[in-house]
């Protein structure tokens, strides 16, 4: 560190420190963490020992940079794996048919290819029905995750689960809103019969573990 005394009587300090990162990474560590100065570096230094205060301020600045750099470097997007291949098999437009109505489901991969985004439009019980879904694979928990929202509810259904050993049947369990507006447990099974046929079943899981079928849907890929 080099101290400099200016003609006006004001003192300044310069310090060169090597940090484990490129110039862009250092900038990102600072730019993406607002408030770094008030959090880590005192805004007011004691005047009675100005030289010591400047040393402390410079030291804390370096420590803050060293702390922030690893988090900046860690913000890399997850890599796509073979587990996403199952989701990609659903990409396309499908005719949906159930005992309660018909509709069209459109799937596409989005959000850096990590999520399968589904949009449904049709009817259910004679009423217009729309839904949005997000499905992905979480490499941290080794499970598939699903979020479902539709025009019949203001509470999403959030589920997680796994594939069978043949990579054809996905079983998910989770919670959403029940018919009595109270939280309820659900179970879904999605089976890819072939490249053009998918069967879906949703059940309500009672407190005693019994399953009550709610709806089954057959999807046929549009040609």
Looking at residue 79, its pLDDT comes to 83
Which residues make beta-bridge pairs with 212?
204
Looking at residue 41, its pLDDT comes to 47
Looking at residue 9, its pLDDT comes to 60
Average pLDDT, the chain: 82
Burial class (CB in 10 A: 0-12, 13-18, 19+), 125: exposed
Antiparallel, parallel or unpaired: β 2-5 and 101-110: unpaired
Q: In this predicted model, what pLDDT tens digit does every residue of 118-157 receive, in sequence order? A: 999 999 999 999 999 999 999 999 999 999 999 999 999 9
Q: In this predicted model, what pLDDT tens digit does every residue of 187-201 receive, in sequence order? A: 999 999 999 999 999
Q: pLDDT at residue 61 above 90?
A: no
Structure tokens at 4: 């400099």
Q: Which of 31-35, 36-40, 115-119, 199-203 has the lowest mean pLDDT?
A: 36-40
Q: Rounded CA gap, 138 and 146, in Å?
A: 10
Q: Give the global pTM.
A: 0.66
């Amino acid at each position: 560190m080099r101290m400099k005394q200016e003609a006006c009587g004001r003192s300044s300090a310069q310090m060169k420190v090597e940090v484990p990162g490129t110039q862009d990474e250092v900038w990102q560590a600072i730019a993406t963490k607002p408030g770094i100065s008030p959090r880590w570096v005192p805004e007011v230094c004691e005047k009675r020992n100005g030289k010591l205060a400047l040393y402390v301020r410079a030291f804390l600045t370096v420590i803050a940079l060293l702390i922030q750099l690893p988090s900046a470097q860690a913000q890399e997007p997850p890599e796509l794996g073979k587990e996403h291949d199952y989701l990609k098999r659903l990409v396309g437009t499908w005719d949906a048919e159930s005992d309660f109505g018909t509709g069209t489901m459109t799937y596409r991969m989005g959000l850096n290819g990590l999520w399968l985004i589904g949009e449904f439009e049709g009817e259910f019980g004679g009423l217009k029905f729309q839904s949005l879904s997000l499905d992905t694979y979480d490499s941290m928990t080794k499970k598939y995750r699903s979020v479902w929202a539709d025009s019949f509810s203001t509470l999403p259904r959030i589920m997680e689960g796994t594939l069978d050993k043949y990579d054809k049947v996905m079983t998910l369990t989770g919670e959403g809103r029940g018919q009595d507006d109270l939280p309820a447990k659900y179970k879904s099974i999605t089976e890819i019969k072939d490249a053009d046929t998918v069967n879906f079943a949703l059940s309500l899981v009672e407190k005693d573990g019994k399953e009550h079928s709610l709806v089954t849907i057959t999807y046929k890929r549009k040609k």
